[in-house]
């Protein structure tokens, strides 16, 4: 028995629409990136802002609705709580610690050649776990413990997030002007990895 071909949820274009829905999602991702970058300027608001971006992408994936600037702003305001701001101190503290360790390695300490790649791997792993944390929905929102548990239980997803961080770092190094756009793709990647995890029987 033959089955009719499956047609994607917006295979046609709406009247007046120049590009397809894939391009619309790309534009939404860039818009989310710029707004999230602005919300991350105080630094301690970065986890809350990225979590809001992930929530907007999660809603888009579930309902197929287009990203709205008002919804993103509302999500950011709802997440700017005292616990979230306290958790926002973790990334800058880790960055300072990483820079101090890097300076110590450059000073010619014994074992520096071995510890340098280990330090880079630790930083990359911490960034992947951080992306896991901002993508978490209730009741585990911004939970570092849950993010670490999911990272260990889903090594493929963690590798994907690590690759996203490496790619973002390379783009930033090559074209620093892209900095305001990078939070969008990173939040999108974190959301996609978090959404694929329950559907994968090998991760259960």
What does the pLDDT look like over 29-43, one tens digit per residue?
Answer: 888 999 999 999 999
Q: Count CB-CB contacts under 10 A for residue 61.
A: 14
The ranges of the chain with pLDDT < 70 are 1-23, 105, 108-109, 111-112, 197-204
Q: What is the pLDDT of residue 17?
A: 40
What does the pLDDT look like over 113-151, one tens digit per residue?
Answer: 777 778 888 889 999 999 999 999 888 888 889 999 999
Which residue from 67, 43, 44 is spatially nearest to 57, judged by alpha carbons?
67
- Give the C-alpha separation, 47 to 56, whole Å: 14
- Give the C-alpha separation, 185 to 28, whole Å: 10
Q: What is the pLDDT of residue 150?
A: 92
Q: What is the pLDDT of residue 4?
A: 42
């Amino acid at each position: 028995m033959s089955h009719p071909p499956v047609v994607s949820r917006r295979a046609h274009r709406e009247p007046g629409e120049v590009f397809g829905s894939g391009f619309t999602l790309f534009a939404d991702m860039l818009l989310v990136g710029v707004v999230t970058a602005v919300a991350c300027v105080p630094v301690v608001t970065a986890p809350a802002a990225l979590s809001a971006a992930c929530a907007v992408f999660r809603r888009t994936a579930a309902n197929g609705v287009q990203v709205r600037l008002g919804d993103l702003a509302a999500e950011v305001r709802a997440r700017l709580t005292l616990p979230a701001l306290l958790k926002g101190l973790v990334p800058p503290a880790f960055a300072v610690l990483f820079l101090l360790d890097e300076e110590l390695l450059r000073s010619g300490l014994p074992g520096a050649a071995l510890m340098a790649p280990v330090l880079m791997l630790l930083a990359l792993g911490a960034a992947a776990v951080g992306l896991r944390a901002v993508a978490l929905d209730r009741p585990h929102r911004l939970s570092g413990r849950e993010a670490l548990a999911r990272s260990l239980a889903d090594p493929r997803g963690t590798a994907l997030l690590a690759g996203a961080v490496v790619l973002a770092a390379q783009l930033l190094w090559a074209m620093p002007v892209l900095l305001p756009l990078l939070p969008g793709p990173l939040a999108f990647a974190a959301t996609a990895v978090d959404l694929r995890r329950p559907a994968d029987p090998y991760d259960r």
